[in-house]
Amino acid sequence: MPDPSRESLGFLLIDAGRAVRRRFELRAAELGLSAAQWRVIAQLHRHGPLPQARLAEYMEIEPISVSRLAERMEKAGWIRREADPHDRRIKLVAPTDKATAAFAEARSIADALYADALAGTPPGTRETLIAILKAITNNLSPGTDHD
């Protein structure tokens, strides 16, 4: 039998993603930052202050998930949520100084982690993997117009 579980692309993908997340959170535990929270901060540093709806698009999750996430992050002092002066529906999310400081830390944790993850693989593996993952996400995402 062709090993219905271990050879399954989906299983492997989900396993690998979970392993990376688990390791990151283990090492970033003292920062008090989860993987999802780090993703938020990274988006904010990339794009500047954002409405929650925009954040949801960039992260490719649902607005309600951003709502909960932002609520916890605001409570923990990672972000501020300010009213948009031009549109009273919108809450503009911005990183605090604490978030900006943690960003660099988390980045280096992640870099070290990726090095660990790819240890022992041939050179160029990272680029190959990135290209494949982008293709997969593009192929499977409905609004297919990333990057």
Partner DNA sequence: TCAATATCGTGAGCGGGCTTACGATTTCAA
Partner DNA sequence: TTGAAATCGTAAGCCCGCTCACGATATTGA
Q: Which residues of the chain form contacts with a second copy (CB under 8 A)?
A: 1, 3-24, 35, 39, 42-43, 45-46, 58, 60-61, 107, 110, 113-114, 116-121, 125-126, 128-130, 132-137, 139-141, 146-147
- Asked if 91 is part of the footprint of DNA (rule: CB under 7 A), the reply reads yes
Cβ-based nearer residue to DNA, 19 or 131: 19
Asked if residues 51 and 84 have their Cβ atoms less than 8 Å apart, the reply is: yes
- Whose structure tokens read 């780090």? 38
Q: How far apart are CA 35 and CA 17, in angstroms?
A: 11
- Asked if 106 is part of the footprint of DNA (rule: CB under 7 A), the reply reads no
Minimal distance, residue 45 CB to a second copy, in Å:
7
116 contacts: CB under 8 Å, gap ≥ 6: 23
Q: Which of 18, 126, 134, 146 binds DNA (CB under 7 A)?
A: 18
Residue ranges in 28-62 assigned as alpha helix (H): 35-47, 52-59
